[in-house]
Structure 1
């Protein structure tokens, strides 16, 4: 992903003032910032939900997007969601989705309706849907919401496996959880990204 000179404002309030960011393959990166710093606006632009007023975003492959606010149908089961997205993505099978579900311990809920799932289990489904087409880049907005400790660890194992396969992951959060696991960490402040030091090998 190559992001160049992204600007965006809401009326007279400037939110993004020239964002530059480049992510190569096999990179775990994070963006942190206070509430209201423009994280959600930036992520919507990266996910092509919002057109920047200036600048451009270029992708060298497919991306997956896991938004903070779940976009799930409470009347459908987990498997029905997978089938719907399988067709939308053009996936031949659900093999990859089922592997991700096994890693996240979601498989036992395949026939459950979303309406009866806990917040953490819904987030597992959200993450599975974002990954089931094997994207080159995964965009995550506050991905840890509702995760218990075991799932939190499994999430990082999954992220590390993606990195080893040459995939990239961008995590946007208001706190720098486990910053030492990241290759890059950026602080969004006053509309600009400022690099911060991490302890990743």
Structure 2
């Protein structure tokens, strides 16, 4: 577990980048931090990862950390494979066979023996993600991890975050999009004038009306993103978080349901 108490960061005599940040990261939780560019998100994660020192407050706890910075050092002459093997040895990971399957799962395009400096932004991001997760750290810290990823890898990263939670490790990630943070985080915060506050909003919802010739049977109330379930004139009517609507529709169609209506709910 990691705990921040009264943490602040100031450069020189300027305005504080962070002020009086209190945050506890318990085991098995995913924490998302929202904020605009320049709000201090990267500074907060660097302090949590131990690569920058707070000028105020206390950071307590020493979990094994995997860290993806906002700017992954992709200009190196090492290849992706050599770079990851080098880091694995430094971190005491004896089984190097996990590296190639992980790169394949993340969808690395091209030769893993090509130099890092030749990779596209998206492929460099995939290598950065691989180095953060391969040792199965107790705390995974990811700075804008979905930035630059293709659709397929976007979903794979979501799976890796869920798998990290399932093994009772923790994840802290940042993003500037509320829909992404809501989709993957258990607890959502935002940085406002250097202060970390709980994020409360009223997410957009979608009404989905389903029918079936014979009931396929599905516990819709247990489906992620489903807020309410009702029977209406022989149909099942779901109120769904808009960010999860596509996934719910796919589940319905693959389960034999007919979609009768999809419409945004009135505010």
TM normalised by structure 2 equals 0.69
> 1:120 — aligned with what?
122
2:198 corresponds in structure 1 to: 195
Q: Which has the higher contact order (CA 8 A, sep 6+)?
A: 1
CA contact (8 A) 1:97 1:131 kept: no
- What is the Cα deviation at residue 197 of structure 1? 4.2
Please give the secondary structure, in 2, of the residue aligned with 1:109.
coil
CA distance in 2, matches of 1:105, 1:70: 17
Contact 1:25 1:168 survives alignment (8 Å): yes
Q: 1:148 and 2:150 equivalent? A: yes
In the alignment, structure 1 segments of 5+ residues that lack a partner are none
- From 63, 66, 75, give the equivalent of 2:65: 63
Q: 1-side partners of 2:72 and 2:62: how far apart?
A: 26
Whether the 8 Å CA contact 1:29–1:184 is kept in 2: the answer is yes
Q: Distance in 1 between matches of 2:119 and 2:171?
A: 26
Provide the residue aligned with 1:106 in structure 2: 108
Query: 1:74 offset after TM fit, Å?
Result: 3.3
Shift in Å, 1:116 = 2.6
Structure 1 consecutive aligned stretches of length 4 or more whose deviation exceeds 4 Å: 197-201
3-state secondary structure, aligned to 2:26:
coil
5 Å-filtered alignment, 1:27-176, equals 27-106=29-108, 109-176=111-178
Residue 73 of structure 1: CA displacement? 4.5
Cα deviation digits, residues 107-146 of structure 1 (max 9, x gap): 8632222233221111010011111221101111111121
- 2:3 counterpart residue number: 2
Task: Note the C-alpha offset of 1:166.
Answer: 0.8
State the superposition RMSD in angstroms: 2.1
Consecutive unaligned residues in structure 2, runs of 5 or more:
204-223, 226-267
Does the aligned pair in 1 maintain the 2:68–2:143 contact within 8 Å? yes
The verdict on how the C-alpha distance between 1:113 and 1:38 changes in structure 2, with shifts beyond 3 A counting, is: same
Instruction: Give CA-to-partner distance per residue, 1:78-115, whole Å, 9 cap, x none.
Output: 11112210221111121333342232123863222223
Aligned length: 201
TM-score (norm 1): 0.90
